[in-house]
Amino acid sequence: METTTFAATDGFPHTALVGVTGPEQTLAVQGDPHSALALASVSKPISAWGVLIAVERGLVDLDEPAGPEGSTLLNLLDHTSGLPFEGEQTQASPGTRRIYSNAGFDVLGAHVAAAAGMEFSDWMAREVTEPLGMRDSDVTGRPSAGYSASIEDLLIFGREVLRPTLVPMALRDLTLMVSRPGLRGVVPGYGSFDDNQWGLGFELKGTKSPHWLSDSFAPETAGHFGGQGSFLFIDRSRDIAAAFLSGVAFGGEHKRIWPPLTDEIVARYGKR
């Protein structure tokens, strides 16, 4: 593993922990790899992995009813259940709009918890963080936005997505495919897009611009960013994953450095 400094973070006024991994091992880290900070919405793809394990075990099914009337587990995972960002009052019929929803992911966690017969946090620890060796992670908060983790643990998770061990590759592939293309929706902090592409718990870059990823990334690049200045991306075209943690509220400084930082990461470590 290389200890490095990323030029794009020069002048960033907050903590800037960065890590890059290939499918087998960590490639580079800036800062303390074991310092655990709030993930905010980067919790969602990790929670989604726990849901996929429940699907693989036959405890739940993607097409079963979950959430508001007419909604399914799949609708909750791809933000088309109709639930708002927060709260219980539906904003649209299921499957008709992409409404980014913390509430939907919290309902998702409760649904899986009922099927598994245990708290969702216990399910996540038993089935995701402990088997993967994510020792710095805390998954006792809200499934939507309440976890904390270190760069090291996010890179472990990134390797799991690149080369899954807890779910079949086919289920991983389904998770990172566009679910219901052509739906309009908002990416918080970046605006509304006519084709707001998402997989199951992972945002897909698509053709969205401006975006937290550089415009050079392939449309199928998957990931998530969080309101506490965090991100995780999975670039299968280059066979790498990368993560960023700052522990402070997302704002203009993050928007300034993230596109050049993600470009710098792939220029230095992307598969050629």
Output the pTM of the full model: 0.97
Cα gap 263→139, rounded to integer Å: 30
Per-residue pLDDT, averaged over 111-138, amounts to 98
In the predicted structure, residue 272 carries a pLDDT above the cut 70: no
Closest CA to 162 of 107, 97, 204, 223: 223
Residues whose CB is less than 8 angstroms from the CB of residue 117 and which lie 6 or more positions away in sequence, other chains included:
none
Per-residue pLDDT, averaged over 81-109, amounts to 97
In the predicted structure, residue 62 carries a pLDDT above the cut 80: yes
Tally Cβ neighbours within 10 Å of residue 184. Answer: 13
Per-residue pLDDT, averaged over 52-74, amounts to 98
Mean pLDDT for the chain overall = 97
Q: What are phi and psi of 242, to 5 degrees?
A: -145, 155
In the predicted structure, residue 13 carries a pLDDT above the cut 70: yes
pLDDT of residue 204: 98
Q: Which H or E run includes 149?
A: strand 148-149
What 8-state DSSP symbol labels residue 97?
-
Say if residue 188 is preceded by a cis peptide, omega within 30 of 0: no
Share of the chain above pLDDT 70, in %: 100
Cα gap 134→137, rounded to integer Å: 6
Q: Where are the alpha helices (DSSP H) in the chain?
A: 43-56, 73-77, 102-116, 120-124, 130-132, 151-162, 169-175, 252-269
Per-residue pLDDT, averaged over 239-268, amounts to 97
Buried-exposed string 225-263: b where 16+ CB fall within 10 A, e elsewhere: bbbbbbbbbbbbebbbbbbbbbbbebeebbeebbbebbb
Q: Render pLDDT for 221-233 as a digit per residue (tens, 0 to 9).
A: 999 999 999 999 9
Closest CA to 107 of 84, 138, 139: 84
Per-residue pLDDT, averaged over 28-36, amounts to 98
pLDDT of residue 206: 97
pLDDT of residue 1: 75
Per-residue pLDDT, averaged over 13-17, amounts to 97
State in Å, rounded, how far the first CA of the chain is from the last one.
19
- The tally of CA atoms less than 13 A away on the side-chain side of residue 125 is 14
Q: At what angle do helices 43-56 and 102-116 cross, to 10 degrees?
A: 30
Size of the chain in residues: 272
Contact between 1 and 24 under an 8 Å Cβ cutoff? The reply is: no
Cα gap 191→39, rounded to integer Å: 21
Closest CA to 38 of 150, 157, 152: 150
Provide the CATH topology of domain 2-269: Beta-lactamase (3.40.710)
Cα gap 179→78, rounded to integer Å: 7
Residues whose CB is less than 8 angstroms from the CB of residue 257 and which lie 6 or more positions away in sequence, other chains included:
8, 9, 12, 16
pLDDT of residue 271: 75
Cα gap 23→162, rounded to integer Å: 6
Q: pLDDT band for 2, please (50, 70, 90 cuts).
A: confident
Share of the chain above pLDDT 90, in %: 98
